[in-house]
Structure 1
Amino acid sequence: TLDLDTDVSQSFDSLFGKESDDVPVESLELPTASTESPAETAPAASSDTLDLDTDVSQSFDSLFGKDSDDLPLEDATTSTRTLAEIYFGQGVYEEAIRIYKDLIRKSPDDASLQKRLAEIEKARNDKSNFG
């Protein structure tokens, strides 16, 4: 293996040069400080530019709607109603019914909740009668 190491090392040196050949001595010195002038700073944004940004943003919003960050978060009732509908879609009627009963307890005047509860209970009863 010593001969192999020597052969590999010699081949490497012949292809890429020896380690001492890699870096010329003069490049090891640190560069001296340059006498270049500092970079110029950009002028501050004018009010015209800021107005244009606002106009573009408003135009974008009118075409595509507001960003999701600007929209109100979904309330807990909708999220729970959504979960109940997921349960219903999966055939887990008891959980859907439980959630709708809880929603009705929180909002007893909401007729749409009572109507949907009746529909889910009917679907559950139909399934148990035919299923």
Structure 2
Amino acid sequence: MAPSAGAVIAALVYLAVPFAVLLLYPALSRMDRSLIEAARTLGNSTIGTFFKIVIPVNRSALVSSSVTIFVLTLGAIIVPQVLGKPEHWTLSVLITDQAIYNFNLPFASALAVVLLILSGSVVAAVMKFGGEK
């Protein structure tokens, strides 16, 4: 693959999917099958059953896997640096580039604070709005 944004996204998805599967499989395997059968008996389509039954029942597992994948891809340095052009680099790659290769520690520190605020706000939003209702 030539260095591009598509290559970076494909590689990050390839790295993140096994972690999502590991987090979602126990919740999906423990789900009561009678809920799905009841929804199908009452006339729901397969897609309707998925969106009305499966997703709400497994909401906490979906939220936890989403946060885990977000944190995993947020810290990815090697994949974007190897598979992407400089305009496709993530914030963590820019911080590494400024700190190690350009010796611009004040700018790298400022970028790190931006990254910390961004990730903290996402985690705070998930904790506030992603909890059980």
**Pairwise same-fold verdict (TM > 0.5):** no
Higher RCO (CA-CA < 8 Å; seq separation 6+) = 2
Q: TM-score range by the shorter chain?
A: under 0.3
- More helix per residue: 1 or 2? 2
Higher Cα Rg, which structure: 1
